[in-house]
Amino acid sequence: MSDADIAQYLQATTDRPTRDDLKFAVSRVDGARTAIDCGCGAGADISYLLDSGFRVYAFDMDDQALSVCQGRFQGSKDVVLSKASFETFDYPAASLVVADASLFFCPPDHFNTVWDNIYECLLPGGIFCGSLLGREDTMAQPGDNPSVFWSHVSAFDQSDVEAILRPYEVLRFKVHRSSGKTAGGVPHSWHIFQIVARKPAS
């Protein structure tokens, strides 16, 4: 993905509407309001979480994304930004972990460790709100594919997703399938698992 493509994406998503799943997840958080935003992009979710009373630890690998967020949340004591990947981020204790359209880019060899880290960092009763890539998504297909802008993605069958969610209480689960074109006009078929799940309280 070129720098120009990333800049276009960040501009397009800076003020995107908050997803219903995230609103629902926030409504289910009890106690401490500490969140981790995995792959924070332009910071739309950070903004919503701040408005909802959270202290937010956010990370991204992209310098442009971090620059946008640094400017956007300058002076806020409740936003801690890090340049990190899923496998290098030091996960603090949190009542909410947000990973929408970002766990796709965790290298498959590291996914199980990262998934364990997310579970372990959640406080008892904490909420995971995010999405996983299905194997039928265009981005998960091998070969010369203009929709693939990342060399390694983690993709799953529904049975895989159900298995890794067994330690959680699943509050919402939806399989999203659609076809159309990306923002850059490239044909794409989407296959995404949308998840809100709670870690047991004890």
- Domains along the sequence of the chain with CATH: 3-198 (3.40.50.150)
% of the chain with per-residue pLDDT over 70: 86
Spatial CA neighbour of 122 closest among 59, 49, 196: 196
Q: Which residue has the higher pLDDT, 185 or 126?
A: 126
Place of tokens 């397009």: 12
3-state DSSP assignment of residue 6: helix
Query: Does position 7 have pLDDT exceeding 80, yes or no?
Result: no
What's phi and psi for 48, nearest 5 deg?
A: -65, -40
Query: Does position 192 have pLDDT exceeding 90, yes or no?
Result: yes
Query: Does position 14 have pLDDT exceeding 50, yes or no?
Result: yes
pLDDT digits (tens, 9 = 90+) for 61-106: 989 889 999 999 998 999 999 999 999 999 999 999 999 989 999 9
- 195, 48 Cβ separation under 8 angstroms: no
Output the pLDDT for position 143. Answer: 60
Count of residues for the chain?
A: 202
- 63, 83 Cβ separation under 8 angstroms: yes
pLDDT digits (tens, 9 = 90+) for 105-146: 999 999 999 999 999 999 999 999 999 999 999 888 866 554
Query: Does position 157 have pLDDT exceeding 70, yes or no?
Result: yes
3-state DSSP assignment of residue 147: coil
Q: How far apart are CA 104 and CA 97, in angstroms?
A: 15
pTM for the whole structure = 0.90
Cβ neighbours of residue 32 closer than 8 Å, sequence gap 6 or more: 95, 123
DSSP classification of residue 86: T
State both tokens at 152.
């390694």
Q: How far apart are CA 13 and CA 187, in angstroms?
A: 20
Mean pLDDT of 26-37: 96
Q: What is the mean pLDDT of the chain?
A: 89
